[in-house]
Amino acid sequence: MTTPAITGLGVAFPPSTGQAEIWDGYFGRHYAGARQGLARRIFENSGVRSRHAAVSPLIEDVADWSTERRMRRYQAEVMPLGKSAISRALADAGLEAGDLGLFAVCSCTGYATPGLDILLARDMGMSPSVQRLFVGHMGCYAALPGLGAVSDFVAARGRPGLLLCAELTSLHLQPSGSRTDIQQIVSHALFSDAAAAVVVTDDPSGYAVRETAAITDTSTADHMTWEITDQGFRMGLSPQVPSVLAAHVRGLVEQVLTRHGLRIGDVDGWAVHPGGPRILDVVQEQLGLPEAALAESRSVLAVHGNCSSPTVLLVLDELRRRPVPPRSMVMLAFGPGLTLYVTLLEGSTLRA
């Protein structure tokens, strides 16, 4: 069996809007009346300065759209975004679409059949024999089990694989009945749209994927939910989520590192999913990390917002652009379950 390694990465975004602009131009009215002051404070303290929207509320208000209408728009908007991320990742890896043996897609913000895996494989010129995998409704942590599955394929088959994570959270703006719901306010203040793709091969010049591990605390399954309603997908986000992460994150990270003869202090790159400022604060505190260790995660939150599954890959993209790229990296992502995923990467020659 070969050692799988990340040898290409590409990202793509729809247009960006400033957080203050989107508050003044839309959400200030959306939350007019009851709890407007609370909503403003949540937006101002979200850690987000700008974010991306394929369907901007400054142009189109989707709050009262049916789920069917949102899903049709999802298909129209996500295809070009996915193509852009895939093209950049393949170019970064020096491969053609026809070289791929596996194409995996993660998305929890839209569904259609034929799905993105079929349509993008067709449009990008992948082989008719390419194997495909679609991962849905895993939410913000989906990139890491997706990366694990692609890495296992590469290790077993010796052929390249590509993972695409694409999310359009802007399509799930909730209607008037949720405007005083604190969980919806937090969701509307944080979430954003993006696509990110990674190519995995057996080329030793990339970041070797050493291990992917997970822990799920099913006793807190109701703390983070993503429910399909007649008016889009509705987020449930308990304020207890950081406390659950605090109880599990250090133990899981140390278990993975110990199996590879490493300690927390040996890791020089941390790609932590920026679910929000409190999430990052808890991870930093529990792992005893210096402020600089999560600089890229906080920067991604500020510039791009929480883009769900692509976000941890956006942080990885920032880390590899350091003047001296990290030699070892830990990727951390969290989501429904409550679930924590950890991936250990080693190597520093991935091209930026």
| Catalytic residue positions, numbered | 140
**How many residues are recorded in the chain?**
352
CA 183 to CA 269: how far, in whole Å? 31
Tokens of 230: 């007649």
Directed axis angle between helix 295-304 and helix 277-287, to 10°? 180
Taking alpha carbons only, the member of 290, 152, 287 closest to residue 210 is 152
Task: Give residues with Cβ within 8 angstroms of 49, minimum separation 6.
Answer: 18, 19, 302, 303
Task: Please list the residues that pair with 212 across neighbouring strands.
Answer: 343
Cis peptide before 57 (omega within 30 of 0): no
CA 349 to CA 7: how far, in whole Å? 9
Counts for the chain of helices (H) and strands (E), in that order:
11, 13
